[in-house]
Amino acid sequence: MSVLARLQAPQGHGSVLAVFAASLWGISGACAQFVFERRGVSIDWLVTLRLLIAGVLLLLLYGWQYPHRLWSIWRPAHNARALLAFGVLGMLGVQYTYFAVIAHSNAAVGTVLQYLGPSVIALYLIAVHRRWPSWQEALAMLLALVGTLLLVTHGDWGVMHISMEALGWGLSSALALAFYTLQPVSLLKRHDSALVVGWGMLIGGLAYLGFSPVWIVPGQWDSATWLATLFVVVLGTLVPFYCYVLAVKKIGPQRTSLYACAEPLSASLVAVWWLDVPFGWLDVLGSLCIVLTMYVLARSETTTSIDQGL
């Protein structure tokens, strides 16, 4: 019996797997903030290392279980073009912008702003289908706008409480997440998600290797740096991805996406407790507004449109 089959054997634990995966992603954001702020590790180096190592490990694990499927994704030619676009624009894009907003603000704000992605997806689908938004989509847009304004201004509409760089990277992260979600729909219909994501990670890492060679190691390295980096690369990438995929298979994508709201919660708690990040009640309120968009959109036709490949 394969490793994946053993993991899938017990039924009924999908919600636990989804929350566990989202929590690991959130904690990895705090670990990234730690190595950026307190150890001088560069975004470029960490993104490249994370993508390369996680991509190789995921493909090795997949190839060990399904060796005859490993290279099938590269045929025919339009599959290869879609995979290259996903790796460079989707995987590399979402990873780099997420870490960039963390570096310019903190893990809590970075994770929450990325959750504007579902609202971007809803807007895109409304435009593609040339229709008026449903009441759920309109409510989600309003929540996203209010939440973002509260995070950025703290209710003082004339003052920015985060830098323009952080806001710009945060919005870019939401756009990248939307592309990352929508672009590989056709690939995911024909191939396992582990295969698509594994190749996407490796392609994204190789594409950025020329700009950030991993053999030139920046920053101050001690045991804390090693542990935080290891968490980001393995426990913040490979492990949660597998848990999330298993959760989708057990309880479906809609319920899994709702449990994934544990990510901004874990990122905020760890950042406040470990890194002394200030997070007041207006930040909490703004975060709740943005996270609620996931709940609202999960009950609208947006989820159906994505599942049906637009």
Dump pLDDT digits (tens) for 195-216.
999 999 999 999 999 889 999 9
pLDDT of residue 162: 86
Chain position carrying tokens 């950042």: 271
**The pair of three-digit structure tokens given for residue 217, joined into one six-digit string:** 């190691």
CA distances from 308 to 180, 185, 248 (A): 16, 9, 16
Mean pLDDT of 259-275: 88
Q: What pLDDT score does 305 carry?
A: 53
Which pLDDT score, from 0 to 100, does residue 254 have?
63
- More confident site: 171 or 160: 171
With cut-offs at 50, 70 and 90, classify the pLDDT of residue 11: very low
Grouping H, G, I as helix, E, B as strand and the rest as coil, residue 277 is coil
Letter for the amino acid at 79? N
CA distance 265 to 293: 15
**Distance (Å, whole) CA 113 – CA 167:** 8
pLDDT computed for residue 3 by the predictor? 42
- Cα 16 to Cα 36: distance, rounded to the nearest angstrom: 30
State the average pLDDT over residues 114-123: 87
pLDDT value at position 90?
A: 92
Residue 256 has pLDDT above 90, yes or no: no
Identify the pLDDT of residue 263: 87
Residue 118: how many other CB atoms lie within 10 Å: 26
Q: For residue 58, what are its two tokens?
A: 């995921």
Average the pLDDT over 273-296 and give the result.
88
Model pLDDT, residue 250: 78
Mean pLDDT in residue range 131-143: 88
Kindly tell me if the per-residue pLDDT of 242 is higher than 90: no
Alpha-carbon span 141 to 9, nearest angstrom? 39
Identify the DSSP state of 68.
Answer: G
Residue 86 near residue 183, CB atoms below 8 Å:
yes
- Under DSSP, the state recorded for 75 is -
Q: Inform me whether the pLDDT recorded for 180 exceeds 60.
A: yes
Question: What's the length of the chain?
Answer: 310
| Token pair in block for residue 116 | 């504007």
Q: Extract the tokens encoding 235.
A: 């426990």
Highest-pLDDT range among 42-56, 108-122, 151-165: 42-56
Looking at per-residue confidence, does 242 or 225 come out higher?
225
Beta-carbon count within 10 A of 99 CB: 25
The pLDDT score that the predictor gives to residue 10 is 47
Q: How confident is the model at residue 34 (pLDDT cuts 50, 70, 90)?
A: very high
Backbone region of residue 119 per phi and psi (left: phi > 0; alpha: psi in -120 to 50; beta: other values): alpha
The predicted-structure confidence for 58-112, as pLDDT tens digits, reads as follows: 999 999 999 999 999 998 889 999 999 999 999 999 999 999 999 999 999 999 9
Percentage of the chain surpassing pLDDT 90? 48
* pLDDT class of 302 with cuts at 50, 70, 90: low
Query: How many whole angstroms separate alpha carbon 107 and alpha carbon 9?
Result: 35
The residue-averaged pLDDT of 157-186 equals 87
Residue 157 banded pLDDT, cuts 50, 70, 90:
low
Which pLDDT value is given to residue 303? 56
